[in-house]
Structure 1
Amino acid sequence: MPRVKICGTTSVHDAVQAAQAGADALGFIFAPVSKRLVSASVAREAGLSVGPAVARVGVFLDQGLDEVLRLSEAARVSAVQLHGPLSEGFVRAVTAFYPVLRVLRPADLVTEGKLWQDVPGVTLMLDAPQPGGGVPLDWESLRATFPPGTWLAGGLGPWNVAEAIRVLRPAGVDAVSHLEARPGVKDSSKVAAFVRAARATTP
C-alpha cells in the first residue's frame, strides 16, 4: 500500500486535518515562487501539532544548500524534497543531513532515475513538468520506465489516485492542487477522500 503525502500545507489547522485523515507525510513548501509558500516557524508549529508519526517534508526549488539546510533546521522537518536541475554533489550533500525525495520530470526519468535508484537516503518522486499545476501525467506511457520504489505526484486527486496506483504501483502518492479550497488552503473533505482512495487501492 503506498504512503500518502499531502503537500502545500500552510497552517496548523490543515496539518491536523490531514493527519487525522490518515496522511503519512505533510509537505511544507519553502520555494519563494510558490503560491503555497510557508514560513519555517509556521511549518515547525504545524509539524509539532501532528506528532512524530507523520513525516514533515521541506520542499525546495532551485535554492542554495545553505538555505535548504537553514530552513529545514528551523522548521524541524524530517525529510527534504528537491526540485529543479541539481548536481549530484548537491543532492548527496543534503543526504548527509536529511533523507531526500529527489523530484524528476518524465523526460529525466530514464537517465537521472538510474543515478539515484539505489543511493542510500535518496527516494525518487516523479512529478509533472509544472509541479502544483494540477495536470496528470500519462501513466500508461510511463509504465515501462517507472522505477520500483518511486513516488508519484502530478495532478492526483480523489477521483484518479486509484487508477494511478493500479498502473504504476508507486511507493507513495503526493497531491496538492486538487485537495484545496483555494491555493494554500486545504479542503478537508477532499484530503480525507484522497487518503481513503489511496488506502483502498490494491496495486
Structure 2
Amino acid sequence: MTRVKVCGITSVNDAVLSAEAGADALGFIFAPVSRRLVSPAVARQAGLSVGPGPARVGVFMNQALDEVLRTAEAARVSAVQVHGPVSSLYVQAISGYYPVLRVLRPADLAAEADVWTDVPGVTLMLDAPEPGGGIPLDWAALKAAFPSGAWLAGGLGPANVAEAIRHLRPAGVDAVSRLEAQAGVKDPAAVQAFIRAAKTA
C-alpha cells in the first residue's frame, strides 16, 4: 500500500486530524522561504500529540548542515527532507543522524538519481520545480525514468492522487497546497479524502 505524507503541518490540531485520518508521515517545514514555516517548538508539540505512529519529517531547503541538525533535534523529528542543490556529502552527513528524503526535480533525475540508488538511509522524492506550488508533474512522461521505491509530490490532491499512483507506482505520496483551507491551515475533508484515495488506489 502506498504510504501517505501530509506536509505543511503548522499546528497541533492539523497534526492530530492528519494522524487520525491515517497519515503515515507528517511534514513540518523549517525553510524560512515557506508560507508554512513552523517553529521547532510547535513541531515538537504537534509530534508529541500524535504519539509514535506517524513519522515526523522536518523539511529543509538550502540550509546549513548545523542548522538542519540543530532544528531537527529541537523539533524531535524522526526524518529529514532535503530540497535544493546540495552536495551528496551534505545528504550523507544528515543520513548519519536521520533517514533522509532527498527531493529531486524532473530535471535533476539524469544527474542525481543514480547517486542514491540503494544508499541506506536515503529515499528519493520527486517534486515539482516549485515545491508547494500545487502544479502536478507530467506523470506519463516520467513513467520510464521514475526511480523504483521513490516518493511522489507536486500538485497532488484528492482528485488526482489515484491517477498519479496508477501511472508511477510510488512508494509514497506527499501533498500540501491541495489539502488546505488556506496556506498553513488544513481542510479536514480534503485531508481525509486524499488519504483515502491514496490508500485505495
Pairwise TM-score range, normalised by the shorter structure: over 0.9
Deviations 1:104-160 (A, max 9, x none): 000011220110121100000000000000000000000000011000000000000
How far apart, in 2, do the equivalents of 1:82 and 1:138 lie?
Answer: 22
Aligned match of 1:32: 32
**Correspondence for 2:149:** 149
What corresponds to 1:50 in structure 2? 50
| 1:194 counterpart residue number | 194
Matched residue type, 1:52: P
The amino acid of 1:23's aligned partner reads A
In structure 2, the partner of 1:128 is: 128
Alpha-carbon separation, structure 1, partners of 2:130 and 2:41:
27
TM-score by structure 1 length?
0.98
Separation in 2, partners of 1:65, 1:21: 33
What is the CA deviation profile of residues 62-106 of structure 1, one whole-angstrom value per residue up to 9, with x for unaligned ones? Answer: 000000000000000000000000001100000010000000000
What is the identity percentage for the equivalent residue pairs of Structure 1 and Structure 2? 73
Corresponding residue pairs, total:
201
Q: Which amino acid aligns with 1:74?
A: A
Write the letter of the residue equivalent to 2:144.
A
For 1:109 and 1:123, how far apart are their aligned partners in 2? Answer: 13
Paired residues for 1:23-102 under 5 Å: 23-102=23-102
Query: 1:90 is paired with a residue of what secondary structure?
Result: helix
Give the gaps of 5 or more residues in structure 2: none
How many angstroms does 1:7 deviate by?
Answer: 0.1
Corresponding residue of 2:109: 109
Q: Partners in 2 of 1:200 and 1:81 — Cα distance?
A: 26
1:27-80 deviation per Cα after TM superposition (whole angstroms, max 9, x unaligned): 000000100000000000000001111100000000000000000000000000
The DSSP-based 3-state class of the residue aligned with 1:59 is strand
- Residue 10 of structure 1 corresponds to which residue in structure 2? 10
- Deviation of 1:190 after TM superposition, in Å, equals 0.2
Q: CA deviation at 1:196?
A: 0.3
Distance 2:2 2:26 in 1: 15
Task: Give 3-state SS (helix, strand or coil) of 1:146's partner.
Answer: coil
Distance 2:114 2:169 in 1: 18
**2:180 matched to which residue of 1?**
180
Task: Please tell me the residue identity of whatever aligns with 1:116.
Answer: W
